Structures are given as structure tokens and as C-alpha cells.
Structure 1
């Protein structure tokens, strides 16, 4: 039966005071709770396990090894295998290939990640249409963010050198012509033509600042901060005579005109730079580069490049066509429908980064996509989609929930996080 406290008042003037934490407790409740935590922990750690011929230790080492291999920690996995005297079920080359793809995905370079997957694992994505569609939706999001290699190429390289690429089409197979990619490592600036009044065009350099995710350890891969710095520098078209355009049959209006006033004030719709000394661009030599830091400068779609925006919109139309094709072949898929709707919703806001759907642009959102692709590659080789360590953690978490529902009080003094560092 449930117990409850009772207090008897026998004489007049007696008072009962309750302390719910507003003042220090007379009884050392913290020490009492710590004592129960230690008892529960010792019960877990001293639980008897048969270890015939070192089977228990071997199983633990295997769990650690498979976790390292699964997530592509190649060097650590090799060192651990040597010390534990174990072998891999997967070849080192395959682990490094998966590691390469994971780095591309986590850097936001989805186009290159998809192409690399096609090259290293032919037929994998063709057999998993829903996975390919998810990757393409993520590529569209990275295009909006300005981090995907397709829009970075359109923004930095000339149209002649980048046009006609078939890698931007979701419905077309990628070309397999080796590593024909141009890895752009511009860290801070991109030139853009600007004119003021009736003066000839001059070169102005805008230095972009952004806060990306931690840099990649691969020296050959661009870090997130490098890519964002290059993207933030692009804030308009190179032609100031191009008027604002209304993109028909689309959900958004985008303006690429760059206006200027006779008093030396330049505006691209998001930030203004005024020369306080009254000088215009004509007063500066053609070969001189100016660096202008505008703290109020906002991020723009596809880095602000009109060519990249048009490429992104074309990719979106092809992605919509791919969605309809999958629906005709396999029927309705609510997951795909929701993913496409969420991705396209970014275009409904002038500042998608600060919109209700802006969470999609957070680099953290790349991790589930990376995990899904990595699991698919492993599954194609007959390996588990999840490492045993993660399965064990999930099972222990569910056991804790069941203990709580069953009223087993000891579960309140034990936590999975106590064993994870």
C-alpha cells in the first residue's frame, strides 16, 4: 500500500513548517541520492557475466571496432584492430571511400557526393529511388544555402566553363569522366562590377563573414567556413543595367539589379555603402581593390548570383518532375512529399535563414542524410545498417523507459548518459 506522512498536533500553538527547497535541508538529501546512485551503478557493473575463454572481452572489442568502421574512422579503427588483434569485415579502401562521401555531404557539397557515390558504388542509388530523392532534396537546400558545388561553380566560374553540366539534373545519370571537378578554395573575396552615376565600371571587393560548422579535417576538402565566406561575398549580378526580373510560374520574386545614386551610394537591395568623403568609384584607380565590411549585409539565395539562382530554379523544376515520376511508378510517398514541400518552402521567404523553415539550412541537418547514405552503402555489402554499439544504446534506453512505466525506482538513479563520454 502507498504510504503518506502524518503529523499530529497535540498542544495549542504548535506549528508545522514545510521546506520544499526554499531553505537548506536539515537532512542531507544530496548525499542520500548520491548513495543510491552508487548502489545502482555497482549493481550494474557487478552483474555476473560468464567470460569463458575471454568471449566477453572479445565481444566488447568487436563492438568498439564495428562502431569505428561504421562511421569511417579508418585510422583509429586500424590502430584499435592492431592492439586488439582483430580484423575488419570491410576492406580499408571501402572505408576510405565512405569517409570521402561523408565528408562531402557534411560539407554541403551534395552534387559531388552524389556523383562520387555513382562512381564508387554503381547502381546503388538507382536501386534506392527514395534515397536518391532525399539526397536531391538536400542538394536543393544546399543550393539555396549557396554551399553546393553546382551553384558555387555558377557563381564563381564563367558560364562558358560551367554551362551544359548534366550533374545538376536530378533525373539524369551523372557523367563518369573521372574527377573533373574544380574545387574552389577562394577564402574571402569575389570581384563584382559596380557602376555609379555615369562613370565606367570599377571593381569592388566585398569580404563576406560567416559562421559555419567546424572545419573538415581533410586538407583536400573545403571547410564550411571557407565555402560560406566565398558565398557571402557574392551579392549581385555583374551587370548593373539588368532590370529587376520577375520569374514567372514560380513562387518567389528575385531581383538582381544593382542600383547606384549620384552621391556615391551603392545599393544591391540588402546593404548600402557610401563614400563619406564624397568620392565615387571614378576617384579610385582601376587596379585598386577596396575591401568593404558591411555588418548589416544579409545572406542571399545562392550567394546572390543570378546565374546560380536560375540554375537552382531549373534544378527545382527537375526535382518536381522526379517527384511526379516516382509517384507514378511507386505510388504516393508522404515522406518524399513532405521533404519536397519543406525544401521548396525556403523560396517563400526573403530571408530563408531566419524563417520558420530555416532550420533546414543548419549544417546539423546534413547528418541524418549522411547517416542514411552511409547505411545504404553498408547494407549493399551485407553489413548492418547500424553498428551494434548504437543498437545496444537504443535497447538500454527503451529498457529504462519500461522500468519507469513499471514503477521500478532504481531507474531514477541510473542513466545511459552516465556511461557515454
Structure 2
């Protein structure tokens, strides 16, 4: 048989048996060099077996088992054996056996052993007396053996054709692929998936997956179906509330769940969504300040979360998207004579106990050119795709590749309205003229700003030396902050080290550590902050719907550990999609 690619072999096994974790339950990949009788010889990396005994009587029979038993998580398992040489008499058996079964016998002759023999075509089920089953097989034939752990049956194939069920009511114990030989020159080679099978095993698996899916979909819940539907509706509604989709929640409740009561005040939900939007837009400094204002004491009592947010703010400074460096970049681009005041990292509001955003008027610093029309219209926030724990925000992209601020930094409620601000105004379609978005406050003039030449590539902190200096000061203070947080000092140092590593590259966006600058990395931070806010309000920090999904996945794992083969074809993720 031709050589095989190990990576392709592993990939094929994973496609056949996706529920199997080979770190816990390895799949059969070759014959065992230990679990065999003396008269069995091995070659071709333990994939080919040959007989080396006298072969005079049945006492000369010899068998060999695979290197591993068949995991229950397979659901259905299949392997094929090619008859390289039928030898003198063709007394060959192909099948299954439990660990400890006598190997000085052909498979099927002893208890917990099952075999299909080539000399007479009989099947042997734990007894020396065979039953007529299928055709005989000889040199050149390919015989397949399939163990169905769902209905506890076993069938065979010959040259790709299903012969029919050979064994039923098989015991729920680990079984090993097994072959046996008895006369000189008999030789077999095995295919555990190293190569495509002659039998259409993929199609057989699809049939059982569909059968399992249909049985789940047709399952009758109970006579209390109405109550069951009500629970489902409440799960969906609470999920929408968790992520702050107020308009969608109210619309959903009006149509399918009119009696559901919110466990959280609408104002609190809108405040959470406002903070989430700031994080997902990369405006971390504003998010920290808003959190401290709306939920006093939350970050002061959760130092590790505050540190996580500040590290993300440092990364967004590198990216040029955090309000602090964005404001400095804008200010200097309008007038080279304007010197932006920079709040020292020693400012009392910087650290654990207060605000850190020098761009805020609360700190006595109000950068110019932050005008935006309060009549700006936005698409509904609930039109966004909700495929992740914290849905990503749409943002405008400038010609130089930097993310543009999608709304004014003044933080007024009209601009950050919970259900109307989607960070992209209608009519713009995300298009930015000469790198300036109309929602950045320059839509009504400032031709000098609009006509300013754009750099040809992304630049650190937007290319502003003042912003770079501010970012470096911020980074120095972060190191001090990391040392102050005792419980997770090692973890925090690692996080900070990864963030610092961005400065080692002239083009951090295309560096090995550039993944940190991807907007998608804001989502875990957003989820952590949102959960902390909910927990501080004595509300579930995780949507009940996700808890139910997690429990369903654990149930599937329990089914597998309980040796229920059907679990191999149950994928909770498939139903969610």
C-alpha cells in the first residue's frame, strides 16, 4: 500500500470522529506490537501483518489487536483490511475483541470476540460455531468492519459493498479492531483511515447524523409545551438585555413574550450599552471615565479589571484610536502652533481611584474641534450582528487605515443614545473624504483639515510626537500599576509585556504581535467589563441562555462518558447556527 501523509491521516480521523479527544481516548492507528500472539509478524510501521507459524491445526491460530480500543465518542467506527495474500488455506478472520481475549485463536471463537472468516464466509459471535453470513474473501479483496455504537451492531463490507448486519446487541465494553491468521503465507494490510476507504463511510456517517438530528427535533417535550416555550422566550429576552439591546428586547417581548419583566432598570441597561460602545470603538479612556461616573466604586474595587482596561487603552493609543491620543493628533494637525496640554501620569485621577482621561473637560482639558451636530441620525444599534459575546461595532476607516472616531467625544446623550447610535451615520456608508469622517465634527467646514495630505501608511499614535510622548508616559505608569496589583501580578506583567512588545516594531500592525491591534480584541475586554457591571448590580454576569448552552454541552460529554454512542452526532453548536 502507498505511503500516507500523517497530517492528512489525522485530519481524516478528525472529520470522521469529531467528538473524540485523542489526548484522552486515542484512536486505533496501527497494530499493537505487544498485544499479539507469537506467530504474528509485523511490517510497514505495524500496518501489515503476516503469519509465521506452522499452521498445522487450529492450535496454531494467531491474532493481533490494534494499538487502542474504539472510543465510544466515535459513535460509529470503521476500518478496512486488504487481503495481500490468502496464503495456503485462507483461514483468516477479521473483527473485534475485548482486551484480554485469548490471542491464540481466530477472532470470534472466544467470549467477547467477534469475527468474519474468509475460508467459509461465516460469522463467529463468541463461539467456535459459525453462522452463514457472507461471501468468502481471498487475495485482492478489501473487507471492511463497522462498529455502530448507537444501536450496538456490527456489519461488514466486501470491496465497498455492505454485506449486512453480522452481530447485534454487542456489549458496551471497549472493543479493539482484531485480525487473525492460521496458515503459512497469509498476509493482510490495514487501513485505519490512512487512505480513503473503498466503502462510502462519509455518506453512512451523514445518514446517522441526520437520523440523530431528526430524532431530537421530533422529540415531544411534554404536555406543558406552553410553559417550555415561555422559558425559551425569557432566555432570549434576558440575552438581549444582557448585551443592552433595549429596542430589540422590547420588540421581541411585544411579539412573543408580553408578560416578561425586566430584572434591570432600563436606564442601567442603556448605561451599560453606552459603555460597551465606547470600548468596542476603541475609546477606552472614555469608557473608564463613564464607568466611574455611572457605576461609582466598581473599578476602584476591581483593580485587575481596571488594569485590563488600561492595558487596552495603551494598545488603542498605539493604534491611534483612543480619544486621548486622537484628540492630540487632531489638535496638532489643525495648527502647528497649538501645544496640547498633557495630563501627567502622576495626576491624582489617573490611577486606581479615579479618571484617567485628559481629553475630558472634567480634567480641565477640552481639546478643540470636537463639534458635531446633535441632529445627526444613525442606523439602529440592533441591526448589528450578534454572533459573539460582545457584538463588534461598525466604525469608519480613514484612508491611512486608522479607525476613525464614529461620534463626538463630548459624550452627550443625544450622540450616544442607546438605541440610535450605531457609530456610522446614514448617508456616509462608511466612506471618508480625505481621511475625515463627517461624524468627526468637520462636516461643516474646516477645509484645511479636509485637504490635509494623508500619510501612506498607519503610524504610531496617528504620527503625532506629542501623542507618542503621552503614550510613553501612560505606559510607564502602567508598569507601576501592575506592581501594585498583588493577586495577579505575574499575569498582569505578561499582559503588559505583550502590549509593550508592539513598540519593538516599526510597523506593529503587520508584526507577530499585531493581533493585539485588531478591533476584535476589544470584545473580551468589553465582555469582562459588562459582566462586572452586572455582577455589581447583583445580576447574573453571564446570560442564562449561555449557561443553558454550556449545560447542554456538558450533558453531551456525560452521554459520551456513559457510553451512549448517539452523543457523537449531537453538536450543540450546529443547532445554534
- TM-score relative to the length of structure 1: 0.68
Please report the RMSD computed on the Cα atoms of aligned residues, expressed in angstroms.
4.1
Please report how far the alpha carbon of residue 367 of structure 1 lies from its aligned counterpart in structure 2 after TM superposition. Answer: 0.5
Q: Report the equivalent of 1:100.
A: 274
Please report how far the alpha carbon of residue 37 of structure 1 lies from its aligned counterpart in structure 2 after TM superposition. Answer: 2.1
Name structure 1 gaps, 5 residues minimum: 187-206, 232-286
Q: Report the equivalent of 1:88.
A: 262
Correspondence 1:375-414 to 2 at 5 A: 375-414=531-570
SS of residue paired to 1:350: coil
Corresponding pairs, count? 341
CA pair 134-293 structure 1, distance change in 2 beyond 3 A: closer
- The question of whether the paired residues in 2 share the 8 Å contact of 1:342 and 1:357 is answered with yes
Please report how far the alpha carbon of residue 407 of structure 1 lies from its aligned counterpart in structure 2 after TM superposition. Answer: 4.0
Does 2:463 align with 1:304?
yes
Which one of 71, 95, 120 corresponds to residue 294 of structure 2?
120
- The question of whether the paired residues in 1 share the 8 Å contact of 2:306 and 2:352 is answered with no
Q: Report the equivalent of 1:79.
A: 251
Q: Report the equivalent of 2:496.
A: 340
CA pair 4-74 structure 1, distance change in 2 beyond 3 A: farther
Q: Report the equivalent of 2:525.
A: 369
- The question of whether the paired residues in 1 share the 8 Å contact of 2:311 and 2:478 is answered with yes
Please report how far the alpha carbon of residue 298 of structure 1 lies from its aligned counterpart in structure 2 after TM superposition. Answer: 3.4
Does 2:364 align with 1:208?
no
The whole-number CA distance in structure 1 between the counterparts of 2:421 and 2:262 is 26
The whole-number CA distance in structure 1 between the counterparts of 2:326 and 2:489 is 31
Q: Report the equivalent of 1:251.
A: none
Q: Higher RCO, 1 or 2 (CA under 8 Å, sep at least 6)?
A: 1
CA pair 123-14 structure 1, distance change in 2 beyond 3 A: closer
- The question of whether the paired residues in 2 share the 8 Å contact of 1:111 and 1:168 is answered with no
Which one of 53, 60, 63 corresponds to residue 235 of structure 2?
63
Q: Report the equivalent of 2:576.
A: 420
- The question of whether the paired residues in 2 share the 8 Å contact of 1:171 and 1:319 is answered with no
The whole-number CA distance in structure 1 between the counterparts of 2:343 and 2:137 is 95
Q: Report the equivalent of 2:14.
A: none
The whole-number CA distance in structure 2 between the counterparts of 1:154 and 1:344 is 21
The whole-number CA distance in structure 1 between the counterparts of 2:424 and 2:323 is 11
Correspondence 1:3-402 to 2 at 5 A: 6=116, 8=118, 14-17=139-142, 30=203, 32-52=204-224, 54-83=226-255, 84-85=257-258, 86-158=260-332, 160=339, 162-164=341-343, 169-171=350-352, 173-174=354-355, 208-210=399-401, 219=421, 221=423, 297-327=456-486, 331-402=487-558
- The question of whether the paired residues in 2 share the 8 Å contact of 1:146 and 1:303 is answered with yes
- The question of whether the paired residues in 2 share the 8 Å contact of 1:136 and 1:170 is answered with no
Which is richer in strand?
2
The whole-number CA distance in structure 1 between the counterparts of 2:454 and 2:430 is 17
The whole-number CA distance in structure 1 between the counterparts of 2:306 and 2:431 is 27
- The question of whether the paired residues in 1 share the 8 Å contact of 2:483 and 2:489 is answered with no
Name structure 2 gaps, 5 residues minimum: 1-96, 99-112, 121-135, 143-158, 161-190, 333-337, 373-397, 408-418, 437-447
The whole-number CA distance in structure 1 between the counterparts of 2:252 and 2:538 is 23
CA pair 225-112 structure 1, distance change in 2 beyond 3 A: farther
The whole-number CA distance in structure 2 between the counterparts of 1:288 and 1:397 is 54
**CA deviation map 1:345-379 (0-9, x unaligned):** 21222222222222111111100000000001111
